[in-house]
A and B are shown apart, each in its own frame.
Chain A
Amino acid sequence: MEPILQVEHLSISFSQYHRGTRKRTLPVIHDLSFSICPGQVTAVVGSSGSGKSLLAHGILGILPYNSALEGTILYQGTPLTQRRAEQLRGREIVLVPQGVTYLDPLMEVGPQIRKGRRDPRSKARSRAVLERYGLGPEVEKRYPFELSGGMARRVLIASAVVEQPKLILADEPTPGLDARAASRILGHFRELAEDGAGVLLITHDLELALTIAHRVLVLYAGETIEEASAADFSAGRLRHPYTRALWAALPQNGFTPIPGTQPYPGEISDGCQFAPRCPRCRPECRGPGPVPYVPRAGGWVRCRFPEGGEAL
């Protein structure tokens, strides 16, 4: 199937003033490549604060002014330029943000979902979408502060799908929800994919991601270190030591913690970023030169000595 979105060698960086006057660039996402097919949920898993949200903002063309984007993004096979992103965002490509702070605190829910349109068709449509997510017409009259956490997420989903999008970018849609509410919200994304949309799920929660994702991309220090199918996890076919460690850290797999911490953006070293924490690390891993991202056994990996294989 033709992918709806292809991201190739995407890098996003910030320019920042360092110690007063010296300007420096801070790479946040580095050399990211993946694609999303219609009907599929692709999860991007990375720890909190790793700049994952910027990926969604980059695709939508709403990065902050002091940031720069490199690489190519193709939407339905054609480059997604800033102009094109401006035309498509909010219609074909939609964002489902994290929480209630993304709603205007002084505007009622109904007008927000309709983006101010008042015609009867828009009204009927917003009502239908709210109903689809189990929210009654009275919710339209509420202000964001009168919504519970779960309701707010459903309102945010409703405000996105009211447009019948082809590509849905969901940015951490579940934190703060209890397990049942969270899996319910994720179920909605799975449904949207089954209806034919491509879904990009950005999250820090591998466990939840695995409940709905077809493919999982793992970010480490702003780089993709592995792309695997959801089945690879339970089948033990993981390629990268970090992905294995993440998997082993899940409750049902024994909570084995990973020692050490991820480097911050700006602390990027030569060679493999995971080297200081990697049990399989060898001298070659520390460079010189970055570790290449290579296809392997139906997925991708960025490791010189991947699991279950010889040196590359």
Chain B
Amino acid sequence: MKHRLQFAGKKLLRMALLLLGVSLAAFLLMSASPLDPLQTNVGQAALGSMSQEQIAQLEDYWGVNTPLAERYLGWLFSALQGDFGTSLLYRQPVLQIIGERLANSLGLLLFAWVLSGILGLTLGVLAGALRGRWPDKLVRGWCLLISSTPTFWLALLLLTVFAVWLGWFPSGLSVPIGVEADSVTALERLRHAVLPALTLSITGVSNIALHTREKMVDVMESDYVLFARARGESLPAIVLRHGLRNVALPAITLQFASVSEIIGGSVLVEQVFSYPGLGQAAVTAGLGSDMPLLLGITVLTAAIVFGGNVAADLLYGVVDPKIRRGAAKA
């Protein structure tokens, strides 16, 4: 029990430090940005026609004249009290915006995460078990092709083929245009999410598949698989009984590590599909110098990624008999 508490305490401390570091880094990068918040958000022409006082007011609003340290510390102290401030662009509380955007993105992210995990694991196990044969070559070729394709380009390709040429799916947004929010059906939402989710999954698959394949190749070359063959177990039986079992641990690590990739990918993909999710909000906030919103999103996504890693650690303890039995004894 004491061991568990120590473990939890360490993790929490690490998480706090991580979030602090990430928010500081995001803040510094944003302040170093060459974009002038007034010019990008108000516009050159509009600025030219304003009086000095009006400009000074705007400068105050965008925090141009406040010293850096003061701005960051001010944000940090309110954030610690649960107040993430108000978005400068949307003029709504940051938490509210994040909540709405996350609700849009969550399905997308989850779907992409689960699908890329299942597909990646299946393809990787298959390729590793049939190493050197044609399914392996096919999977490897496909993965290399995909991982050398930029995400946004893939997104554009899918958009062109399935939305523009075939017209199977809408080309953007999360709901149909000109329909009241309440009357949008779940099916409509799903149709809008398919292409972005697919793009995200496809890019996620190759990494997971290639790594799983490596592990599977190791397993197939292991002494215990040799012995299983010597005992007359067939290849499918070996893959199901020994292969899956032994790639499970690395697969868990991979799967949870891919959380960050999926979130990172969603920034680009949502942009291409004009999907009003968290990723798109991050881009808008970044380009529009909306410091409170950007910091809020950064902290939230960092926390999600960190949570993924913790979940992987915990699952490890459940799956690995060495940890499980070791913990039972201690």
Point out residues on A near B: beta carbons under 8 Å. Answer: 57, 60, 62, 65, 86-91, 94-95, 97-98, 101-107, 115-116, 143, 145-146, 159-160
Q: Which residues of B contact A101 (CB under 8 A)?
A: 222-224
Q: Which residues of B contact A115 (CB under 8 A)?
A: 231, 233
Query: Is B242 at the interface (CB under 8 A from chain A)?
Result: yes
Bound complex: CA A105 to CA B223 (Å): 11
Are A104 and B231 in contact, CB atoms less than 8 angstroms apart? Answer: no
Query: Is B114 at the interface (CB under 8 A from chain A)?
Result: no
From residue A58, how far is it (CB to closest CB) to chain B in Å?
A: 12
From residue B227, how far is it (CB to closest CB) to chain A in Å?
A: 4
Known: A97-B227, A145-B322. 11 other contacts (CB 8 A): A62-B226, A86-B232, A89-B231, A90-B232, A91-B232, A95-B230, A101-B222, A104-B245, A106-B321, A107-B245, A143-B321
Q: Which residues of A contact B232 (CB under 8 A)?
A: 86-91
From residue B62, how far is it (CB to closest CB) to chain A in Å?
A: 57
Give the 6 A-B residue pairs with the shortest CB-CB distance, closest first: A90-B232, A90-B231, A95-B230, A102-B227, A101-B223, A102-B223
Are A116 and B223 in contact, CB atoms less than 8 angstroms apart? Answer: no
Q: Which residues of A contact B245 (CB under 8 A)?
A: 104, 106-107
Are B230 and A89 in contact, CB atoms less than 8 angstroms apart? Answer: yes
Bound complex: CA A98 to CA B230 (Å): 13
Bound complex: CA A309 to CA B162 (Å): 87
Q: Which residues of B contact A88 (CB under 8 A)?
A: 232
Q: Which residues of B contact A65 (CB under 8 A)?
A: 132
The interface on chain B, measured as residues whose beta carbon lies within 8 A of the other chain's beta carbons, has a size of 22
From residue A70, how far is it (CB to closest CB) to chain B in Å?
A: 21
Can you list 28 residue pairs at the A/B interface with Cβ under 8 Å?
Answer: A62-B229, A65-B132, A87-B232, A88-B232, A89-B229, A89-B230, A94-B231, A97-B223, A97-B226, A97-B230, A98-B223, A102-B226, A102-B227, A103-B227, A104-B224, A104-B241, A104-B246, A105-B224, A106-B248, A106-B320, A107-B242, A115-B233, A116-B237, A116-B241, A143-B321, A143-B322, A145-B322, A160-B231
Are B231 and A95 in contact, CB atoms less than 8 angstroms apart? Answer: yes
Are B230 and A90 in contact, CB atoms less than 8 angstroms apart? Answer: yes
Bound complex: CA A50 to CA B40 (Å): 75
The residue on B at minimum CB distance from A104 is: B224
The residue on B at minimum CB distance from A86 is: B232
Q: Which of B132, B224, B230 contacts A60 (CB 8 A)?
A: B230
The residue on A at minimum CB distance from B232 is: A90
Also in contact, A103 and B224, with CB within 8 A (given A145-B322, A146-B325)? yes
Bound complex: CA A88 to CA B226 (Å): 16
Are B226 and A105 in contact, CB atoms less than 8 angstroms apart? Answer: no
Q: Which residues of B contact A103 (CB under 8 A)?
A: 224, 227
Are A159 and B231 in contact, CB atoms less than 8 angstroms apart? Answer: yes
Bound complex: CA A62 to CA B228 (Å): 10
Are A62 and B321 in contact, CB atoms less than 8 angstroms apart? Answer: no
| B 179-222 binary contact with A (CB < 8 Å = 1; else 0) | 00000000000000000000000000000000000000000001
The residue on A at minimum CB distance from B227 is: A102
| B 303-320 binary contact with A (CB < 8 Å = 1; else 0) | 000000000000000001
Q: Which residues of A contact B242 (CB under 8 A)?
A: 104, 107
Are A62 and B230 in contact, CB atoms less than 8 angstroms apart? Answer: yes
Q: Which residues of A contact B233 (CB under 8 A)?
A: 90, 115
| B 244-275 binary contact with A (CB < 8 Å = 1; else 0) | 01101000000000000000000000000000
The residue on A at minimum CB distance from B241 is: A116
Q: Which residues of B contact A143 (CB under 8 A)?
A: 321-322, 325
Which chain B residues numbered 83 to 112 have a C-beta less than 8 Å away from chain A?
none
From residue A113, how far is it (CB to closest CB) to chain B in Å?
A: 10
Q: Which residues of A contact B231 (CB under 8 A)?
A: 89-90, 94-95, 115, 159-160
From residue A102, how far is it (CB to closest CB) to chain B in Å?
A: 4
The residue on B at minimum CB distance from A97 is: B227
Also in contact, A102 and B321, with CB within 8 A (given A62-B230, A65-B132, A89-B232)? no
From residue A46, how far is it (CB to closest CB) to chain B in Å?
A: 20
The residue on B at minimum CB distance from A85 is: B232
Q: Which residues of B contact A91 (CB under 8 A)?
A: 232
The residue on A at minimum CB distance from B321 is: A143
Are B246 and A105 in contact, CB atoms less than 8 angstroms apart? Answer: yes
Q: Which residues of A contact B132 (CB under 8 A)?
A: 65
Q: Which residues of B contact A98 (CB under 8 A)?
A: 223
Bound complex: CA A87 to CA B234 (Å): 10
